Structures are given as structure tokens and as C-alpha cells.
Amino acid sequence: DGGITQSPKYLFRKEGQNVTLSCEQNLNHDAMYWYRQDPGQGLRLIYYSQIVNDFQKGDIAEGYSVSREKKESFPLTVTSAQKNPTAFYLCASSFRGLNTEAFFGQGTRLTVV
Amino acid sequence: DAKTTQPPSMDCAEGRAANLPCNHSTISGNEYVYWYRQIHSQGPQYIIHGLKNNETNEMASLIITEDRKSSTLILPHATLRDTAVYYCIVRGLLIQGAQKLVFGQGTRLTINP
């Protein structure tokens, strides 16, 4: 089946450790995105990429890093510089353009203790 | 990006039509209106989108006013599984074709038996 897969679903890390969240899609989409969601809040854009080996900062990029070495994959690293990393992280992908919907993964819930 | 305003919560009886309003008075001419919904702890699910004409698909109908300053999502025969947070989004382009989905607080729709 075509889709977008995030792993793992739940992740626990100790404070001060970097952690990488996986996002893979087999929809042949050019663009991929990472969002963060806090309890009771909407989604906020962290990073996006519209083509391999290129990515741009979103609204809340500080403390995060990404790479886009393959079209299918867009991993997100939450670094120790991120002050409040505990959140629900969502990855999405789409074709480029306005008249095309984005598809979301099922999310990774990161808890830093 | 145009901002959207939605009521924080709504209730609807099972089997009745659910009408979810959205105001987007600052929308510009080339921005689309998108609707997504999010069931607790899952990724957002695409529902429908439109530019200026009314749209219908197997999930819902979208009615956009002639001046495009507001829209209504209609779920014709609501079921208990339609209980979710519904997001109305006005979508603008990022650089080179990647889309920016700006999520607000959404409307928490509860379908009652």
C-alpha cells in the first residue's frame, strides 16, 4: 500500500540526548514536512523539503535538524538544544503546488525525561 | 498566510448533518481552503479542498461563499466515528512550490448518539 510511515510510534529519551525520528513515504511525493503538536494545540511547521538535498526552516526550527538524502526519506533529529522536546511529531508529504493535498503519517510521540 | 477562525467546539446528533463554519476574511485570490480532521493521537486526515466553487466528495461537501471570506464543511450524515478536531486551513505556497499548511485551534466536533 502507498503511504507515509513514521517510526517509532512512542519514543522515550533522557534529557540531553539527541534523538532521530524516521519518516518514509512511497507516494513519489516531492515535498516533505515536519510538524510539532503540543497538547490542545494546532500543528506548527518545523522544517520542510521540496527536493532531494534541499530543505528550509519552518516557524520553529531551533533545536531541530533534518536531512533529505533520498526522495522517500526525511528524518528529523531533535537535538539537546531543543528546550521543550516532549511533543507529538507529525510528518507529511505532498506533490508541489496549491491544488494538491498533503498526507500525514500517524505521528511519533516523544517523551524526554 | 490568511488566518482562519473556527468555533472551538460543536455538538451534533448522530445521523444529522454537521455544519462546521470557518471564517477566512483575509484570504487572497490564489489561496485554497482545505479541511482536515484529526482523531485523538493520530495524524490529520485530508477531507476536502476548494478554491471558489462548491466541492463534494465521498466524505463531505464544502461550501465557499461568493466573496470567499468564509466556508462551511458539511458532513451529511454524521456518525460517531466523525468525532474529531476539524481544521480549516487556508493554504499558501512556500518557495518553489512546497505548500504551507498553517493550523489553528480547530473545532472539536462531538457526535452524540
Q: pLDDT for B33-59, tens place per residue?
A: 999 999 988 999 999 999 998 999 999
Chain centroid offset of residue B16 CA? 18
Tracing cell 500500500 back to the chain, one arrives at A1
Q: Which of B10, B6, B8, B5 is nearest to B78 (CA)?
A: B10
**pLDDT tens digits, A60-113:** 999 999 999 999 999 999 999 898 999 999 999 998 877 788 899 999 999 998
Whether B34 and B22 have beta carbons less than 8 Å apart is answered as: no
Q: Which amino acid is at B51?
A: L
Q: Which residue has the higher pLDDT, B28 or A35?
A: A35
Window 84-113 of B, Cβ < 8 Å to A: 87, 91-106
Cβ contacts of B76 within 8 Å, gap of 6 or more: B17, B60, B61
CB contact under 8 A, A30 and B97: yes
Residues of chain B above pLDDT 70, percent:
92
**Residue B24 scores a pLDDT above 70:** yes
A56 contacts chain B (CB < 8 A): yes
Local confidence band at B91 (pLDDT 50, 70, 90 cut-offs): confident
Among A41, A43, A56, the residue with its CB nearest the CB of B95 is: A56
Whether A4 and A105 have beta carbons less than 8 Å apart is answered as: yes
> What is the Cα–Cα distance from B113 to B81, expressed in whole angstroms?
11
> What is the Cα–Cα distance from A36 to B1, expressed in whole angstroms?
19
Q: Which residue of B has its CA nearest to A107?
A: B43
Which chain A residues are Cβ-neighbours of B100 within 8 angstroms? 45, 48
Cβ contacts of B94 within 8 Å, gap of 6 or more: A48, A50, A56, B100
Q: Which of A36, A37, A63, A58 is nearest to A47 (CA)?
A: A58
- Min Cα separation A31/chain B (Å): 6
pLDDT of residue A97: 74
Mutate to test the interface with B, among A36, A104, A110 (most CBs of B within 10 A): A104
**pLDDT tens digits, A36-59:** 999 888 889 999 998 999 999 998
**Residue B104 scores a pLDDT above 60:** yes
pLDDT of residue B29: 82
CB contact under 8 A, B99 and A103: no
Which chain B residues are Cβ-neighbours of A46 within 8 angstroms? none
Chain centroid offset of residue B65 CA? 14
